[in-house]
């Protein structure tokens, strides 16, 4: 989904800052517009500022500077319960003394809805998450996955236009987590709601989102659709944080348009897309995805000499760890076909890549 301009955005952060001690900014001059119906994920390591941004949007934290708008209206001074936002937390936050149905009815009761309307909306929300038969149970009688479904239903029961999710799947096992990712994405698509989702799990972000905002040190490093983030990272942090990545350090010898020639000490010269590599003579980091590396490359394919160190069978592909240009952790993903039968630990061969698959980034 395309980003909206600040004038028509459903959610907008305008020069937002947050400091807890009056000195250190955990969020620095955040400008972000989120379109109506968009699924936007805030992704980043612990302490990067993503959860603080979500809490400011929810109203549980106050911005030190700047303005947050919802549907065009400033909400900085509006308390959380009056913002009309649904929330889903990692720890579910269900009331243990209430039944499932009572948990879902609570936000409706707070909004002054009558009994028959409440019952109708509770039933609809439970059916939405395939939990229609569990209304009479208490949270302690449910599994973790079932509790998370109820927490999701409670966030949706009053039909909010905006739902915030803070690491909602963090407590689930891998298989259930992956299943719930698809369920949440399908609910988003069918209901047309706006979702702002926080996670540190990059595969979760790539799976679910229309766009991903990658945070580090209180700043958005890149804001883009998942394929763009993976294929065309803007800097070394994004390249390293999103997916698996090979990095080689070298010096820029020439720049011609959007291509750079880079000398790798003791290994030769290669070509790459010049993204943020600095000037001629400066150090740069080359970023190449493991599945884009060509084993047995011809000299015309940016060929470097490599030695096979380890072969790991992973079913659909072979993970080949090689020593290349002094790096013993250069990874190549080889599709599981007859090709892998020709690889042996200890043998030497060329590895290379197409220039478009290699990005020259800031030295990190």
Mean pLDDT of the chain: 90
**Per-residue pLDDT tens digits for 157-180:** 888 899 999 998 887 888 888 888
Note the pLDDT of residue 300. Answer: 75
- CATH code assigned to 244-362: 2.40.50.100
Note the pLDDT of residue 193. Answer: 93
Give the mean pLDDT of 32-42. Answer: 96
Within 8 A by CB and 6+ apart from 141, the residues are none
The burial class, CB within 10 Å (0-12 / 13-18 / 19+), for 171 is middle
Angle ∠(29,34,36) on CA atoms, nearest 5: 155
What superfamily does domain 11-236 belong to in CATH? P-loop containing nucleotide triphosphate hydrolases (3.40.50.300)
- Beta bridge partner(s), residue 318: 313, 334
Residue of 223, 187, 225, 175 whose CA lies nearest to 88: 187
Within 8 A by CB and 6+ apart from 23, the residues are none
Note the pLDDT of residue 169. Answer: 86
**Per-residue pLDDT tens digits for 204-242:** 999 999 999 999 999 999 999 999 999 999 999 999 999
* Domain extents in the chain: 11-236, 244-362
How far apart CA 359 and CA 342 sit, in angstroms, is 29
Give the mean pLDDT of 199-204. Answer: 91
**Per-residue pLDDT tens digits for 270-313:** 999 999 988 899 999 999 999 999 988 887 778 999 999 999 98
Within 8 A by CB and 6+ apart from 8, the residues are none
pLDDT at 148 over 50: yes
């Amino acid at each position: 989904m395309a980003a909206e301009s600040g004038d028509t955005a459903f959610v907008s952060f305008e020069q937002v800052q947050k400091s807890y001690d009056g000195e250190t900014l955990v969020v620095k001059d955040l400008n972000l517009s989120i379109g109506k119906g968009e699924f936007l994920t805030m992704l980043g390591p612990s302490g990067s500022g993503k959860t603080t941004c979500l809490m400011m949007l929810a109203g549980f934290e106050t911005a030190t500077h700047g303005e947050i708008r919802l549907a065009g209206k400033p909400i900085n001074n509006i308390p959380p319960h009056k913002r009309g936002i649904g929330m889903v937390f990692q720890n579910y936050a269900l009331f243990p003394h209430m039944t499932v149905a009572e948990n879902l009815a609570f936000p409706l009761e707070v909004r002054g809805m009558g009994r028959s309307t409440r019952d109708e909306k509770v039933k609809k929300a439970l059916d939405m998450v395939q939990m229609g038969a569990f209304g009479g149970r208490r949270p302690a009688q449910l599994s973790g996955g079932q509790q998370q479904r109820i927490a999701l239903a409670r966030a949706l029961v009053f039909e909010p236009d905006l739902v915030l999710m803070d690491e909602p799947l963090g407590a689930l096992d891998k298989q259930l987590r992956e299943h719930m990712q698809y369920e949440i994405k399908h609910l988003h698509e069918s209901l047309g709601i706006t979702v702002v989702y926080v996670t540190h799990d990059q595969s979760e972000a790539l799976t679910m989102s229309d766009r991903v905002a990658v945070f580090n040190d209180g700043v958005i490093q890149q804001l883009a659709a998942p394929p763009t983030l993976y294929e065309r990272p803007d800097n070394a942090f994004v390249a390293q944080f999103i997916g698996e990545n090979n990095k080689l350090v070298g010096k820029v010898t020439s720049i011609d348009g959007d291509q750079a020639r880079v000398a790798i000490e003791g290994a030769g010269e290669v070509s790459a897309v010049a993204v943020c590599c600095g000037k001629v003579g400066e150090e740069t980091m080359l970023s190449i995805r493991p599945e884009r590396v060509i084993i047995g490359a011809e000299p015309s394919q940016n060929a470097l000499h490599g030695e096979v160190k380890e072969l790991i069978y992973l079913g659909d592909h072979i993970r080949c760890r090689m020593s290349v240009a002094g790096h013993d952790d250069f990874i190549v993903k080889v599709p599981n076909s007859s090709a892998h039968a020709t690889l042996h630990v200890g043998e030497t061969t060329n590895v290379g890549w197409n220039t478009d698959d290699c990005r020259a980034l800031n030295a990190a």
